[in-house]
Structure 1
Amino acid sequence: MIFDSSDKRIAVVGDIHGFWTWVDTEYFSKSNYDSVIFTGDLGNNLPRNTNKIAQLISKVRKPKYIILGNHDTTSIPQLLMEITNASPNIGYLSHTFHLGRYKKLIKDLGDTNICQYNLSKIGEGLSILGARPLSMGARFNFQIFLKSVFGISSYEESEKKLLELVQGLDFQKQDLIILAHNGPSGLGNRASDIWGCDFKKEEGDFGDKDLSDFIRKLSGKGKRPKVVIAGHMHHSSRKLRVKTRIWKKKEEGILYLNPARVPRIFSDKRGNIWHHHVELTRKNGVWNAEAKYLKNGTEEIFPLPEFLEREKNRIEIKD
C-alpha cells in the first residue's frame, strides 16, 4: 500500500490486562505504523504489573498515545466502591495513595502521550482528543480523583470541557480522533453491541453519556469526529451469550472502534500464539480499520483460523 503525505497508518491496541511482552514492543517499534494508540487497562489489578507493562510500552520506538482505564492507578477497594455505588466520601481514605500511583504510572510511561481532557496534533491534518479517563461505564466514576486532577465533577462539566477543547479546531483542515476508555452511549443496548452490557440479564447500553452528548452536539454543528476509539467492554461475553461483540461500527459518517479483545495474546488449539491489534488507516481522506492477528507477534498468517475470521468480521456499517 502506497501512502501520500496525508495518509496515515496507526496501530490501535485494546485493553491489555497484562497481555503484553517484549515481542509486542519490538514488533510495533519496527513496524511501519506512524503511531500506536492504547485504550488503557494495562495490568491485572496489581500496580506492579501495571507499571511493568507501562515500562515496556515506553520503549516502543514510535509516537504513543494512551488514555488510562479504570484498572490503571486504582485499587481493588476503589473498584469495589464504584461497582457497589458506595458514597464518594469513602474514597477520600484512598485518594492520597491513588495520586501516588497515578504519578508513578505517568513516570513509567516515559515519553508516551497521556490523553485525558487534552487535544494534541499527531500528524498532518490530524488531532487526537483525550476524553474522560478511568471510566468504567454506568455512572460518573472516580469523582474525587477527577475533581482533584481535572476539576471535573459531573457528566455536564465533562461534556463542557470537551467542547471547550475543540472550540478552535478547524474541522476543514483537521481530522479528529477521540480516544476514550469506555465508549459513548447510544450505539446499541444488546450484549453484542459495540458498548452493550454483557453481564446483566437485561443487557442494556453501557456507554458514557458525557461522551455521546459531546459527539451529538459537535455533529450538530457540522463538526463530526472521524474516528472514536474506546475499549473497556471486552469482545468476549462474560456469560457467553455472544462469542464476540461488534468491534467496528460506522454510523453517520463516524467510525467507532472497540479494540478490547481480551486476552489480546492467546493460543489456538494447535498451540500457535496470536497477538491482536487493530490497524487504523486514512487513505485518500477515508478512514477504515481492520483487525490484525499476528502469529507469534511477527506476521499475520492466511488463512486465519475460522474463529478469528468470525471475530474479524463482527462489524456493523450503516453508511
Structure 2
Amino acid sequence: MKNFSLAIIGDIHGFWTSVDTEYFSKSEYDAVLFTGDLGTYRTESTFRVAQEISKIRKPCYLVPGNHDTTSLFQLLAEILHLPSFLTWPGLPWHLRRYSRFRKELGDIRICEYSLHKEIGGLTILGARPLSMGFRLNFLPFLRKKFSVSNMADSVRKLDSLGREAAESGEDLLVLAHNGPAGLGNKASDIWGCDFRKEEGDFGDTDLATFLEHAASYGRTPNVVIAGHMHHHTKRSVLFRIWKVRKSGTLFINAARVPRVFRDAEGISWHHHVRLRRKDGAWDAEAVYLRNGKEEVFPLPELLEREKASVKEEVSLLP
C-alpha cells in the first residue's frame, strides 16, 4: 500500500508570504490541501493570496471558505440570520467574484461537491463550500451553482459522491471548510462554539449525516479535514483541540489563525499540518517552521502545548 505525505494549510486570512510558496514548492509533500478562507473581509486580499498559492509547484486542492468570494454584506447577513431574499440581488456580483477567484487559482483543483482521484490510491471528496457552520449558508449561491436548497439536498449530493468513491476501494479523504457536528459541544472541542455563552456544537449537520450514511454502506472516510473554527478560542480555554480520532476516522481542524506569527522573542513561525499515511495508517502532526524554513526541536513551551492539544480517541456516548 502506497505511503502519502500531504500538507494541510488551515484558514489563511491573509497570512501567506512568498517564503511559504517556496517552502511548499520544494517540499517532499505529494500534495498541498487548503481549507479555504484565503483572505479577510476584503475580496482583493483573497485574490492576492489566490495568486500567490497558484505558484506552488505541487498538486494543490482547495475548498472555498465563507470569506472566499463573499461580500461583507453577505457575511453580515449570515451572521444576523437575515432572510436569503435580501442577498439575492447581489448574486450576479457574487458569481463574478467566484469566476475571478477560480481564474486566480490557476491549476489548483477546487473541491466543492466533487471527487478528485489524481493521487493514486487516494480519493478526495470536496464537501459543501462557503460553510460558516451549523446551518446552510449563502443559499442563493448554493441554489444557482449546485441546486442545493436545504440540508437534505446537500446530504444527497454528498451521499452520491460517497457511494461513487466507495466503488474505487481507495482510501477516502474529505476536505471541508467547516467540520461535522457530533464531535463535542464545548468551546475547546474541535468544532465547538467559543463565541456563545452556552457554547454548543457548531459542526455541519449535513456532513455529520453523510458520515453516518457512509458508515452504513461501509465507506467511512479515513480522514476528514476542515478549519473555520480557529485554534485560539474566544473563551478562557487557551487552545482548541485540533485532532480527534473517532470510530476509525481521523478528524483534523487545521485553522491555526494567524498561521504566521511572531513569538515573544520576535522569531517568526509558520504553521501547517503534516498528514501521513504509512503502512495503511493515517496520522497528523502540527508543524511550526522557524522563519518559514526549518523545524526546530524542542519548540517553545507555548507551541508544544498547542501542538499537543489532541484527542486520540473520543466517545460521545451518553
| TM band (smaller chain) | over 0.9
Output the CA distance in 1 between the equivalents of 2:168 and 2:139.
35
Instruction: Give yes or no for the alignment of 1:42 onto 2:54.
Output: no
Residues 132-176 of structure 1: CA distance to partner in whole angstroms, max 9, x if unpaired?
Answer: 000001211011000001111111100100111122334673000
Indicate if the aligned counterparts of 2:191 and 2:229 stay in contact, CA closer than 8 A: yes
1:234 Cα deviation after fit:
0.2
Residues 238-269 of structure 1: CA distance to partner in whole angstroms, max 9, x if unpaired?
Answer: 23x21110000000000000000000000001
Instruction: Give yes or no for the alignment of 1:18 onto 2:14.
Output: yes
Instruction: Give yes or no for the alignment of 1:303 onto 2:298.
Output: yes
**Identity value in percent:** 55
Output the CA distance in 2 between the equivalents of 1:212 and 1:316.
19
Aligned residue type for 1:165: L
Q: Which runs of 5+ in 1 are unaligned?
A: none
4+ residue stretches of structure 1 with deviation over 6 A?
none
- Pairwise CA RMSD of aligned residues? 1.1
Alpha-carbon distance change, 159 to 169 in structure 1, aligned in 2, over 3 angstroms? same
Indicate if the aligned counterparts of 2:162 and 2:214 stay in contact, CA closer than 8 A: no
Instruction: Give yes or no for the alignment of 1:191 onto 2:187.
Output: yes
1:176 to 165, 172, 179: 172
Output the CA distance in 2 between the equivalents of 1:171 and 1:243.
43
Indicate if the aligned counterparts of 2:162 and 2:219 stay in contact, CA closer than 8 A: no
User: Where does residue 242 of structure 1 map in the other structure?
Assistant: 237
User: Where does residue 155 of structure 1 map in the other structure?
Assistant: 151
1:93 Cα deviation after fit:
1.9
Indicate if the aligned counterparts of 1:171 and 1:223 stay in contact, CA closer than 8 A: no
Q: Which runs of 5+ in 2 are unaligned?
A: none
TM-score (norm 1): 0.97
TM-score (norm 2): 0.97
Structure 2 counterparts to residues 88-107 of structure 1, below 5 A: 88-107=84-103
User: Where does residue 9 of structure 1 map in the other structure?
Assistant: 5
Q: Does the residue aligned with 1:184 lie in a helix, a strand or coil?
A: coil
Residues 41-100 of structure 1: CA distance to partner in whole angstroms, max 9, x if unpaired?
Answer: 000111111100000000000000000000000011000100111110001121111111
Instruction: Give yes or no for the alignment of 1:76 onto 2:72.
Output: yes
Output the CA distance in 2 between the equivalents of 1:159 and 1:206.
17
User: Where does residue 31 of structure 1 map in the other structure?
Assistant: 27
Instruction: Give yes or no for the alignment of 1:288 onto 2:283.
Output: yes
Output the CA distance in 2 between the equivalents of 1:95 and 1:84.
18
Output the CA distance in 2 between the equivalents of 1:172 and 1:6.
15
Instruction: Give yes or no for the alignment of 1:207 onto 2:203.
Output: yes
1:263 to 258, 271, 277: 258
